[in-house]
Structure 1
Amino acid sequence: MTNLSNYIYTLCTLVLLLMANVAVGSTLKVCKTCTYTSVKQAVKKAKPGDTVLIQGGVYREHGIEITKPLTVLGQNKPVIDGNYKGQIITVLADNVTIEGLTLKNIATSYRHDDAAIRVVQRSNVRILNNTILNTYFGIYLQNSDNCVVKGNTVTGKDVTGLNESALGNAIHLWYCNNADISNNNVKGHRDGIYLEFVEDSEVKNNLSQHNLRYGLHFMFSDGNVYTHNTFRKNGAGVAVMYTRNIRMEHNTFEGNWGAAAYGLLLKEITNSSIHNNTFRRNTTGIYMESSSQLDVQRNQFDKNGWAIRLLSSCIQDTFRLNNFTGNSFDVSTNGTPTMNQFENNYWDKYNGYDLDKNRVGDVPYRPVSLYSMLVEKVPPSVMFMRSFMVDLMDNIEKVLPSFIPESLIDEKPMMRKIDYDNDRKLAQVVR
């Protein structure tokens, strides 16, 4: 028994020493006067658990493959210039960290989708605080789980006059789970952040702006959380498609203007919540098609062309405690059947009264105007906006409603704008 105990003790000691050696590792320095003068050389010579420390300077390299657990760390802002010859870093190992580098200059590559950093079928990869400039794809993760992409600045090109095929995405995930995409600043790409077949992930505190198509675009990606992001002045805003169980909270959608631009485009999504967001100065705040069982609550819709375009294919959606201010159209639809609920929203166009002083209007409000339905069916009629005939038409429809959806109505409109931070009595008023 004593010999067996000694054997087990010795084996455990060896395992612990091996783990300690892997965890600590050695540091291989890269600089013009160091033993290693190229990043590729140091990465190839490094052992699992080592750190490759890249000193300040410019390294014209591409095709760097990481095939073992490493930390690749930049010191004094080193630049790796791909010189338009191909992908710069490819990660082919688990437990890799890439931090503090500037990566730039990758040519448009229609066949290979070259990126500054590509992760292929790996897990526990951390891409932190890097600057990526003038690339096709910035950061590309495929079939990789439990990865962190945080604090990176990914800047592409001036998208003016370019078509979508000439641009890749700043941060691109395909078939990934449990990803953390946070605190990144992305612009000048086709899509700022793109996710397809991505589940149980979080996208938070990112700024995505001036992208040719969407600030955020995700499809077939269930169970994700998007919070505290800003999507500004993108070609078409944000698109959420063919997805369920999504939480979108505390985001800002602003300045997404254009003939087909939206703050948020929802197509065939279900069982999701849209809470505490701000939709400001978009052509359309939210465009909803074939979407059901959505909880749209406590959002600010301010100075949009259309606050909400709710197509008749949407059912069982709830709109509650939202503020509608300064919008040309608060709600529009393309048909009469509606199976959705509006309650306790504030509408700046509401001119009802509150005799019992409970802060809830005594008469219902119909947010859909006859003119908004006309514009939905005949788009060129928007040129008559603000005309006397439009006002007269809408006023007659309010007195004798016959065309606007009878069931699309807020039975309990709020009398004043809702202050979510300071209005402590709100719960008592709307219960």
Structure 2
Amino acid sequence: MSRLPSVEGLVSARAAFLAAAVVLAVVLGGVVAAAGAGGAGGDDVGTDGEPVVDPPTYDPDRPTESGTARVLRDGSEIGTYDDLSAAVDAAGPGDAVELSGVFEADREVVVDEPGVTIRAASTHGALIDGGGAGTVIDVRAPNATVEGVWIDDTGENLESRDSAVYLTENASGTTLSELYLTDAAFGVWVNGADRVTIADSRIEGTKAPRFANRGNGINLWETTGTEVRDTEITDVRDGIYYSWASNVEATGNTMWDLRYGVHYMYSDDNRLADNVAFENDVGYALMVSESIELVNNTAVANRGESGHGILLKEIDHTVVRDNDLVANDNGVYLYNAQDNEVRGNLLYANGVGVHHSAGTEGTAVAGNGFVNNDEQVLTTTRELVAWNGTDRGNYWSDARVADTDGDGVSDARHRPAGAAERLVQEHPAAAVFADSPAFDAIRLVESRFPAVESAGVIDHRPLASPAHDVEPYRPYAAAVDTAAEYDDEPGDEHHQ
């Protein structure tokens, strides 16, 4: 039996398409005329400025007593100091410097012996006040540890890399844990050191009004084998910034009120898992990199200048899997991205579920849940893009499902971005009729008759039922302003 449609079916399909097109032309003509005539509009109702997601808070008692530093060797005290730099200078390889109280750092605290530990006697019971000048702790030797210390008020010179903790290329194997870094230009700057661990900390930046006047929470440059985990970051430019960093694993971090929660540049073979980014300009901005694994992360209410949950700009061979993307301007933005996988993600209540743009090719999109996005897919392609071929496809909350054999897959294909959506894109005034019978006729023909093709995106095997639970996210979806303007040229120049 021939797999081609019958002549009668082909004629019927074309006739139905033409009939729908005629109706649509009449409707569209009326829309254009109405738009030309203008109309009265009501006052827009804005949001009240309240946060969509309650950020984690931390407000420890600030130490007040004068600082005391005990230098310990093999567990025995070898000296006591009231000057922190003097205490660290006195420490030899493997020694520990135990702190309590407040230290005024009148110069950089330099660690230049291997294996030195600087730790608070009680977590955040020791405060190092940088006095608003320069870097506070400069680690220049391997296998150091800085633990449980509160560091406040670094310098603000971004060109000088003023940081709470700065690691030179000789500081490989250093561990930074349970730190509280406040009013910091850069929280931690890793400058060529490998196998660094940053864990269980909180970083609060300078709160400068412009992102360009802030440093990054964690700045990773030319590092490999580094781990960043369970750290809270806010009020900086980018939460975790990667430049020429590879084999870095970032897990369990929480980032909010930033330009980008995570920002990759020229950084390959990295893993990002179980992180949360909310109320940033962009949750996870991946640029000019490849072979990244982005798994089980959450992006909620990232609705800034660009407003992407996940941005893939010039990203290749990357896996985006099992992430929850809720109430962002764009859930996923693909920009000149090649040969990536987008699987098993929840895209719920975003302005656009997936924005497929500018030379993006070879994307496998399957097993995702597209639920109640204002626009499920937005694309600029002039070709017909099939996301999953004969594989099981995605769940679409607005799809017409006909699962006659009960295999969980609809018998009818779905066009989330077809002729009707393109007409709205090219003639925005037609959006008011997006749910009209004329538009529905176009969509019906495209879904039922393979002979009728137009540029856009097609899901050959849409799923019949959802695989994701949206209930935990309903309050966030209800709290955001659904009016969104989309950035067609994502990049740093938009976020000064």
Instruction: Give the TM-score taking structure 1 as reference length.
Output: 0.84
Shift of 1:180: 0.4
Letter in 1 for 2:260: Y
State the distance in 1 between where 2:322 and 2:396 align.
Answer: 17
Tell me which residue corresponds to 1:416. Answer: 465
Letter in 1 for 2:355: R
Whether the 8 Å CA contact 1:191–1:214 is kept in 2: the answer is yes
* Corresponding residue to 2:412 among 341, 345, 363: 363
Q: Secondary structure at the match of 1:177?
A: coil
Whether the 8 Å CA contact 2:383–2:454 is kept in 1: the answer is no
Q: Secondary structure at the match of 2:459?
A: coil
Tell me which residue corresponds to 2:482. Answer: none
Tell me which residue corresponds to 1:299. Answer: 345
Cα-Cα RMSD = 2.2
* Corresponding residue to 1:317 among 326, 341, 363: 363
Tell me which residue corresponds to 1:395. Answer: 440
State the distance in 2 between where 1:325 and 1:216 align.
Answer: 25
Q: Deviations over 1:159-208 (max 9, x none)?
A: 5xx22221000111011000001010000011011011000110100001
After superposition, the Cα gap between the structure-2 partners of 1:299 and 1:389, relative to the gap in structure 1 and judged at 3 Å, is closer
Whether the 8 Å CA contact 1:333–1:376 is kept in 2: the answer is no
Whether the 8 Å CA contact 2:424–2:430 is kept in 1: the answer is no
Residue 250 in 1 paired to residue 296 in 2? Answer: yes
In the alignment, structure 2 segments of 5+ residues that lack a partner are 1-71, 447-451, 470-496
After superposition, the Cα gap between the structure-2 partners of 1:419 and 1:278, relative to the gap in structure 1 and judged at 3 Å, is closer
1:2-401 to 2 correspondence within 5 Å?
Answer: 25=74, 35-69=80-114, 70-76=116-122, 77-121=125-169, 122-158=171-207, 162-211=209-258, 213-342=259-388, 343-370=392-419, 372-374=421-423, 376=425, 381=428, 385=431, 387-388=432-433, 391-392=436-437, 394-399=439-444
Shift of 1:268: 1.2
In the alignment, structure 1 segments of 5+ residues that lack a partner are 1-22, 421-431
Whether the 8 Å CA contact 1:28–1:42 is kept in 2: the answer is no
Letter in 1 for 2:113: K
State the distance in 1 between where 2:203 and 2:317 align.
Answer: 32
State the distance in 1 between where 2:434 and 2:426 align.
Answer: 18
Shift of 1:317: 0.9
State the distance in 2 between where 1:389 and 1:285 align.
Answer: 21
Letter in 2 for 1:106: T
Q: Secondary structure at the match of 1:395?
A: helix
Q: Secondary structure at the match of 2:439?
A: helix
State the distance in 1 between where 2:268 and 2:372 align.
Answer: 34
May I ask how many residue pairs the two structures share in their alignment? 386
Tell me which residue corresponds to 1:405. Answer: 455
Greater relative contact order structure (CA < 8 Å, 6+ sep): 2
Shift of 1:288: 0.3
State the distance in 2 between where 1:58 and 1:166 align.
Answer: 27
Letter in 2 for 1:398: R
Instruction: Give the TM-score taking structure 2 as reference length.
Output: 0.74
Whether the 8 Å CA contact 1:62–1:89 is kept in 2: the answer is no
Shift of 1:137: 0.5
State the distance in 1 between where 2:200 and 2:465 align.
Answer: 40
Q: Secondary structure at the match of 1:263?
A: strand
Whether the 8 Å CA contact 1:27–1:51 is kept in 2: the answer is no
**Could you tell me the percent identity over the aligned residues?**
24
Q: Secondary structure at the match of 1:366?
A: strand
State the distance in 2 between where 1:389 and 1:322 align.
Answer: 24
State the distance in 1 between where 2:73 and 2:146 align.
Answer: 17
Tell me which residue corresponds to 1:9. Answer: none
State the distance in 1 between where 2:358 and 2:453 align.
Answer: 14
Shift of 1:269: 1.2
Shift of 1:375: 5.6
Q: Deviations over 1:49-98 (max 9, x none)?
A: 10000123344444111001201111131000001122100000001000
Whether the 8 Å CA contact 2:176–2:199 is kept in 1: the answer is yes
Q: Secondary structure at the match of 2:353?
A: strand
Q: Secondary structure at the match of 1:215?
A: strand
Q: Deviations over 1:111-160 (max 9, x none)?
A: 3020000001021010111000011001000111011011110012445x
Whether the 8 Å CA contact 2:238–2:260 is kept in 1: the answer is yes
